[in-house]
Amino acid sequence: MHGSKLPFMYWFIAMHLLTATKKSISAAELQRQLGHKRYQPIWELLHKLRSVMGKRDDKYTLKGCIELDEGFFSTEIPQEKKDEKLKAGAGSQRKSKVLVIAESTPAEQVPKKGQKPKSVGHIKMIVIPNAKAATIDALASKNIEKDSRLTTDDHASHIHFKDMFTEHQSQVIDPKDIGKVLPWVHIAIGNAKTLFADMYHGVKPEFLQEYLNEFCYKFNRRYFGEDLFDRLVMIAASYRTNFEHRTYRKAA
């Protein structure tokens, strides 16, 4: 909020609307409710709040039983790639790669029909430039405690985990069994994709991390109830945002 020309009341209303439901609010809808003439400042306000949500969650590392996999999110084609021939599959210019990590503890009792075989703790979703082992290793080391037990598929980017963590279970996963082996990673991916598709006309790849920050922040505090607003006010006052829209960046 430091240096903002917007009224403080705008910030408090935005924080209330962001935390009042499981879903989110678009900048266009917030602009309409505030009655503000310009879209850009409201859009930036929301992204600054999403940025500090991410900074807060960066303070924590995940531990215990861990699920890890990569997801592919549909995003707009970057301007510099619009003249390229469109690729198919995971390598498409329309897809952004995201590392997804979830604390996932096996259920003590045999789950009933419709229940998940594991209970979920905290999650993290991090946009990555590629799915190479060096990229995944660096982020896993930073975000997961060494004494954790990881479950992943048999992707080549996971080959070093056995030397990095207490235990690593890697296996070929049949698509029909994904809900048993890596349930919460793929629930998180599916829920985030559904939310983005419902709320936004399109997501540019350079801003995807901010939207994921909000999704994870609210997921990790899903039992906070009305206290979630107070927590967001606290971090908004305590953290300096990293978000800076390219329009206002100074020339190098």
Domains and CATH numbers, the chain: 8-58+221-248 (no CATH), 65-77+89-192 (3.30.420.10)
What is the pTM assigned to this prediction? 0.89
Backbone angles phi, psi at 70, to 5 degrees: -110, 140
Given pLDDT bands bounded at 50, 70 and 90, which one contains residue 1?
Answer: low
Distance (Å, rounded) from C-alpha 176 to C-alpha 155? Answer: 18
Encoding tokens for residue 172? 């070929």
Beta strands in 56-206 (DSSP E): 65-74, 95-106, 118-128, 149-153, 167-171
SS3 content of the chain, % helix, strand, coil (to 5): 45, 20, 35
Residue type, position 91, single letter: G
pLDDT > 90? residue 78: no
Summarize pLDDT for 188-200 with one digit per residue, the tens: 999 999 999 888 7
Closest CA to 210 of 149, 126, 132, 99: 126
- Contact between residue 183 and residue 102 where contact means Cβ atoms under 8 Å apart: no
Closest CA to 214 of 232, 187, 194, 234: 232
Given pLDDT bands bounded at 50, 70 and 90, which one contains residue 84?
Answer: confident
- 43-58: average pLDDT: 95
Check residue 88 and give its pLDDT.
66
- Contact between residue 195 and residue 214 where contact means Cβ atoms under 8 Å apart: no
- Cα 195 to Cα 23, 102, 113, 161, 206: the distances in Å are 7, 19, 26, 31, 18
- 116-128: average pLDDT: 91
Distance (Å, rounded) from C-alpha 51 to C-alpha 28? Answer: 19
pLDDT > 70? residue 134: yes
Distance (Å, rounded) from C-alpha 225 to C-alpha 220? Answer: 12
